[in-house]
Amino acid sequence: MPSFSYKAADASGLSEEGRIEAKSRVEAFRMLVDRGFRPVSLVKADAPVTSRKKSSAVGGALPNLSNVQLLHFTEELAELLEAGLKLEGALKVIEQRQEKSGAPFIAAHLRRQVRDGAGFSTALKSCGRTFDTLYCNLVAAGEASGALPQILKRQCAYLALIEDLRRRVVSSLLYPAIVFASAIVLMFVFLTFLVPQLSVLLGKTGQQLPVITRALIVVSEFCGAWWWAILASMGVGAFIVRGAVRTPTGRDWWHRVMLELPVVGPVLQAKFFAEMLQTLATLVSNGVALLQALQLMTNATANVYLKALLVRAAGMVGEGTSLAGAFRKVGFFPPVMIDILAIGEQTGHIATSLERAAKRYDRDLTSRIGHLTTLVQPAIILLVAFFVGIIAYSMIAGILTSVSSLKVR
């Protein structure tokens, strides 16, 4: 079991140093608090002591935490606060952690801000893109209600859910992308190396080759002679498309098209519904007004087309329309979701209805990801097999024609 060196003050204010064995640093703090001590510092006994500045390496800018690092930071902070530490003390514990992530630097910055009198939610806003608007507003609600540890615990569950959704979508698309890229590399090798050698060999026979073989040789010669032009054209095309998509009109068109793509579009829609409902449920459950929660969700939505829909819905809610009624008038949201929300508004349990709808669309997302994996992977493999088969058939047809002519002679 790990051993931790600690410095703590007892009830009378006297300082005490020693070691304590615990499974984790959080458990060690809880053990000290249970013994009546107020921990000042706690360091793993076998951890190397290194000196470092509590700022980022470049220009004093704070590093951005990844989604997983943000989840771990929030989880540890919530556990330390639940163990009885004050906010500044909990941040100091994270600051003293011996690790290479940006969490200690973030904690040091936040601790300085809190020590200088700033509110915790205000301090979070000064940390760049690590803490988004939703996170800061949840923390502000926790500070106002005196339930910051509980709010952070709920935020941990939300972050874990969103990370799980992202991981499932990415993992379902990763294998087909690898297979497709491998197929492109394989066909490039066939056309630029193997087919030219075969065409030289078949040309020595002087026989008329099949049409499909001649077409393959023409394509191979073109790719071999103009490969640089092909790559340049692809690069220019990608640059033009990227520039067009960055325009307001192009971005709106592309974000709408993504949601309408076969197989992939329904997955993206289910992901949006699950994230939106879970976010609204989390905000409303923590005392945020429904209209404000909807506006916060709108600001956090990256898809321009979906953001415009939420803006319309928020405008209707602000004018007195119910959430279910606003979603029904917008027209994009599923009738089942609208019915669940309508029941929640009629019974006065909108947060519960949002949570129930979020779970429903989380299951729907899981199902659609399964369908995506089931359909896309075989489709990619069949597409690859089709093109590779054409190339192989063209080569074999040319070889058989040449061999047949030799037998006749």
Spell out the per-residue pLDDT of the chain, length 409, in tens: 677 777 776 666 666 777 777 777 667 777 777 777 766 666 666 544 444 444 443 345 677 788 888 888 888 888 888 877 888 888 888 887 766 677 888 888 888 888 887 888 888 888 877 887 777 877 776 776 566 787 788 778 778 877 776 777 677 677 777 877 887 887 777 777 777 777 777 766 666 777 887 888 888 878 777 878 888 998 898 888 888 878 888 888 888 888 888 877 888 888 888 878 877 887 787 777 888 888 877 877 778 888 889 899 988 988 888 888 899 998 888 888 888 889 988 888 888 888 888 888 888 877 887 777 777 777 777 887 888 788 888 878 877 777 776 554 5
What's the pLDDT at 76?
A: 85
d(CA 50, CA 147): 35
User: Tokens 């709920």 appear where?
Assistant: 154
* Greatest alpha-carbon span in the chain: 110
- Same structural domain for residues 233 and 374? yes
Residue 17 forms part of a structural domain: yes
3-state secondary structure the chain: CCEEEEEEECCCCCEEEEEEECCCHHHHHHHHHHCCCEEEEEEECCCCCCCCCCCCCCCCCCCCCCHHHHHHHHHHHHHHHHCCCCHHHHHHHHHCCCCCCCHHHHHHHHHHHHHCCCCHHHHHHCCCCCCCHHHHHHHHHHHHHCCHHHHHHHHHHHHHHHHHHHHHHHHHHHHHHHHHHHHHHHHHHHHHHHHHHHHHHHHCCCCCCCHHHHHHHHHHHHHHHHHHHHHHHHHHHHHHHHHHHHCHHHHHHHHHHHHHCCCHHHHHHHHHHHHHHHHHHHHHHCCCCHHHHHHHHHHHCCCHHHHHHHHHHHHHHHCCCCHHHHHHHHCCCCHHHHHHHHHHHHHCCHHHHHHHHHHHHHHHHHHHHHHHHHHHHHHHHHHHHHHHHHHHHHHHHHHHHHHHHHHHC
Question: What residue numbers bound the domain in which 274 lies?
Answer: 165-409
- The pLDDT value given to residue 56: 42
Is residue 82 situated within a structural domain? Answer: no
In this prediction the pTM is 0.61
Instruction: Assess contact for 41 and 19: CB atoms under 8 A.
Output: no
- The token duo for 328 is 């029904």
Q: Which residues does 134 contact at the CB level (< 8 Å), separation at least 6?
A: 279, 283, 296, 297, 300
What pLDDT score does 302 carry? 77
pLDDT at position 59 is 41
Q: How many domains does the chain have?
A: 2
- Residue 105 falls within a domain, yes or no? no
C-beta contacts of 363-368 below 8 A and 24+ residues apart: 364/270, 364/273, 364/274, 365/165, 365/168, 365/267, 365/270, 365/271, 365/273, 365/274, 366/168, 368/266, 368/267, 368/270
| Token digits of residue 1 | 């079991």
Residue 61 is assigned to a structural domain of this protein: no
Residue 51 within any structural domain of the chain? no
Same domain, 246 and 392: yes
With respect to residue 255, please indicate whether it lies within any of the assigned structural domains: yes
User: Can you give the pLDDT at residue 39?
Assistant: 67
End-to-end Cα, the chain, rounded Å: 85
Identity at 312, one-letter amino acid code: R
Residue 138, pLDDT score: 72
**At 213, which CATH number?**
1.20.81.30
For 218, other C-beta atoms within 10 Å of its C-beta total 11
Tokens at 121, concatenated: 């939610």
Same domain, 254 and 383: yes
R_g (Cα) of the chain, nearest Å: 30
Q: Each residue of 362-400: b (16+ CB within 10 Å) or e? A: bebbeebbeebbeebeeebeeebeeeeeebeebbebbbe
The reply to whether 41 and 170 lie within a common domain is: no
Q: Which two tokens stand for residue 135?
A: 């996170």
pLDDT of residue 144: 63
CB atoms inside a 10 Å sphere around CB 279? 23
Query: What are the residues whose beta carbons fall under 8 Å from the beta carbon of 68, sequence distance 6 or more?
Result: 163
Give yes or no for a contact between 402 and 208, defined as CB atoms under 8 angstroms apart. Answer: no
**Is 129 a member of any domain?**
no
Does residue 191 form part of some domain? yes
